[in-house]
């Protein structure tokens, strides 16, 4: 039998084995790390959306000696629209998680209620991390084409006359990849919780 009474030789008293409580063995600052991570991820995702949807510019470009007016806006590219959609979804996911974590911390209970809850968060964080990586990569390809033009053709570098537009897009993409990195860290924290609890 495993649950036998043990006698201490020093004071000749009997002690019972410690009961299994099922509580987390993680440090107390684990919840604060999760809270801070969600807050920064929410901020980065919102920044990505705001910077992208304000990216537009009018200018002129010289082609075969003619000055032609050009106008560029984020919504003209499907890749940029995709980035905005994914970033907005991640911002919503982060906001929901942030509210849930804050409520659980105010109640002084664990921010993750069960293993099923942990697995759900783990899966959602992974899906959104991959989606952000996909959106950032797609937008980077379009931005690189705008900056370099097409070799062996007359298509020019659009970022010379539209430098403000291209710079805003680049900043938005940087925030997108940063959000992806934060979600990846969150996935690691989810794995730590699952392994320790």
Q: How confident is the model at residue 11 (pLDDT cuts 50, 70, 90)?
A: low
Predicted model pTM = 0.75
What value does the mean pLDDT take over residues 144-159? 58
Q: What is the pLDDT of residue 28?
A: 65
Contact 192, 37 (CB under 8 A): no
pLDDT at residue 178 above 80? Answer: yes
d(CA 122, CA 102): 18
Domain ranges of the chain: 26-196
Find the radius of gyration of the CA atoms of the chain. 26
Residue 101's pLDDT is 85
Tens of pLDDT along 93-104?
A: 999 999 988 888
DSSP E strand boundaries for 5-87? 6-7, 14-15, 56-63, 66-73
The Cα–Cα gap between 130 and 135 comes to 9
Q: How much is the average pLDDT of 138-161?
A: 66
- Res 51 pLDDT > 70: yes
Report the candidate in 35, 16, 70, 77 with the shortest Cα–Cα distance to residue 52.
77
**What's the whole-number mean pLDDT along residues 141-168?**
68
Q: What rounded mean pLDDT belongs to the chain?
A: 79
User: Quick one: pLDDT at residue 60?
Assistant: 72
Q: How far apart are the first and last CA of the chain?
A: 25
- Residue scoring higher pLDDT (85 or 6): 85
Percentage of the chain beyond pLDDT 70 is 76
DSSP 3-state of 7: strand
DSSP state of 160: T
The pair of three-digit structure tokens given for residue 2, joined into one six-digit string? 């495993």
| Residue of 116, 41, 56 whose CA lies nearest to 86 | 41
Could you report the per-residue pLDDT of 68-90, keeping only the tens digit for each?
A: 777 788 888 899 999 999 999 99
């Amino acid at each position: 039998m495993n649950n036998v009474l043990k006698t201490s030789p020093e004071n000749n008293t009997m002690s019972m084995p410690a009961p299994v409580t099922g509580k987390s063995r993680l440090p107390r600052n684990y919840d604060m790390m999760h809270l801070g991570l969600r807050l920064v991820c929410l901020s980065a995702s919102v920044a990505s959306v705001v910077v992208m949807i304000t990216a537009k510019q009018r200018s002129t470009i010289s082609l075969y000696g003619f000055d032609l007016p050009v106008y560029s806006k984020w919504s003209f590219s499907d890749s940029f629209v995709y980035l905005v959609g994914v970033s907005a979804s991640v911002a919503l996911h982060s906001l929901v998680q942030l509210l849930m974590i804050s409520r659980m911390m105010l109640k002084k209970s664990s921010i993750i209620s069960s293993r099923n809850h942990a697995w759900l968060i783990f899966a959602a964080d992974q899906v959104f991390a991959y989606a952000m990586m996909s959106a950032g990569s797609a937008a980077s390809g379009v931005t690189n084409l705008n900056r370099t033009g097409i070799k062996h053709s007359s298509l020019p570098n659009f970022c010379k006359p539209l430098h403000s537009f291209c710079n805003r897009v680049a900043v938005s993409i940087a925030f997108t990849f940063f959000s992806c990195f934060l979600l990846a860290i969150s996935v690691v924290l989810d794995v730590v919780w699952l392994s320790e609890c």
